[in-house]
Amino acid sequence: MSTQQTKDIVVVGAGQAAAQAAQSLRAGGYSGSLTIVGDESALPYQRPPLSKAYMKGEFDEERLYFKPAAWYKDQKIEVLLGTQATGIDRAARRVLLGHGGHLPYDALIIATGSRPRPMPTPGADLEGVHDLRTLADVERMRPQMVAGRRIVIIGAGYIGLEAAAVARQMDLEVTVIEMAPRVLARVTSPAISEFYTAEHRRQGVTILTSTLVSKLEGSAGKVSAAVLADGTRIPADMVLAGIGILPNEELARDAGIACSNGILVDRDARTSDPLVFAAGDCASRPLVHYGRTGRLESVHNAIEQGKLAAAAILGQPRPAEDCPWFWSDQYDLKLQIAGLSQDYDTLVVRGDPAARKFAVFYLRNGTLIAVDAVNSPPEFLASKKLIMSGAKLAPDVLSDTSTPMKDIAAQAAA
């Protein structure tokens, strides 16, 4: 795509991928019209702290912002907040807006992110039942996060467990209910699941696995209890649903752009329409280190795809594609994940979980495909490089803590 022909770029969505794309476009020399359309009232902001430091009131809203308002003004980036993009007219190359206006584009980036999966449980519409995805969600929850109150969290993924940790640190009574046989079942191995289950229970969290919520009960329109499938009633002053997210792909799908559990893109974040790109949670991309396609729900992915889309629009070389990585903070535990562990055939533990500092490596056919590192930055950092290089490693080498991880990486690269 030639920047000489690109005079108007529109970014729909105002999250991490959108902010990165706009920043990369300006840094890459694009000087034309650049507009970000966001349906929230806040400037583009970080989401990970919402379930952690921001929930605890440890810093102000402005600290969540990627850039202050003055930066967008200096960069001549128009940010339309509280504005809904309602359609894409691909023939006329314009984005339709909820107030009846439209924006012309020569290139369009869809960075609409994702939304919480709705809970099908009767009573989910009661007052005091929350999702945790946006600033507004936290603002609704925070006044209720009072010591001694009872919170029921439905879903034991990262968001659910992070919220459970914060709630316990704020002295709430916490019950986590998970329909799967173990916590974090979708994203990690039994070894990590068992460690985090034990930690949360040690901190006073009640964790119920293989358990279904049949309904939520209320009094005067406000939630008062979660009722389990076996009839057990768990009193609740508030309920948090953390049962996964759905990609916001409708804008693209309604415009005839190919979608399948996300907006389908190539390695340059380009959709089936060569003038339209997609980045972040809403996009299903080639996972080049794994030979398949999938959606990644992470800060790293949003940043990387924002850069990829900008480079493609500017006609610049494709930026490097890192292996996927993620993190989760719970209590004093920092879990850093590199790679994707699905379909591993060998699991190797390095270090002692009882010491709260260890790593679990995942191999397939002798090749390292992922690591879960708990309070172990060297294992995380070395594994990122090893995964990208397709390194084959012997389990006894990985488990030998007498050999520093950097030496293992150096030997594998030799």
Backbone angles phi, psi at 193, to 5 degrees: -60, -45
% the chain with pLDDT above 70? 99
Residue 1 has pLDDT above 70, yes or no: no
Residue 129 has pLDDT above 80, yes or no: yes
Query: Which pLDDT value is given to residue 5?
Result: 67
Range 172-196 average pLDDT:
97
Query: Which pLDDT value is given to residue 4?
Result: 55
Range 185-212 average pLDDT:
97
3-state secondary structure 201-252: HHCCCEEECCCCEEEEEEECCEEEEEEECCCCEEECCEEEECCCEEECCHHH
Range 253-276 average pLDDT:
98
Residue 187 has pLDDT above 90, yes or no: yes
pLDDT single digits (tens) 102-121: 999 999 999 999 999 999 99
pLDDT single digits (tens) 43-75: 999 999 998 889 888 888 999 999 999 999 999
Query: Which pLDDT value is given to residue 138?
Result: 94
pLDDT single digits (tens) 341-400: 999 999 999 999 999 999 999 999 999 999 999 999 999 999 999 999 999 999 999 999
Query: Which pLDDT value is given to residue 385?
Result: 93
% the chain with pLDDT above 90? 94
**Which tokens in the block code for residue 215?**
């309904």
Residues 123, 107: Cα–Cα separation, whole Å: 43
pLDDT band at 3 (very low <50, low <70, confident <90, very high): low
CA 263 to chain CA centroid, Å, is: 16
Greatest CA separation for the chain: 68
CB 39 within 8 A of CB 82: yes
Query: Which pLDDT value is given to residue 296?
Result: 96
Average pLDDT, the chain: 96
Q: pTM of the full predicted structure?
A: 0.95
Residues 267, 255: Cα–Cα separation, whole Å: 21
Residues 5, 249: Cα–Cα separation, whole Å: 27
Distances (CA, A) of 340 to 52, 65, 156, 387, 413: 24, 29, 19, 10, 21
Query: Which pLDDT value is given to residue 6?
Result: 79
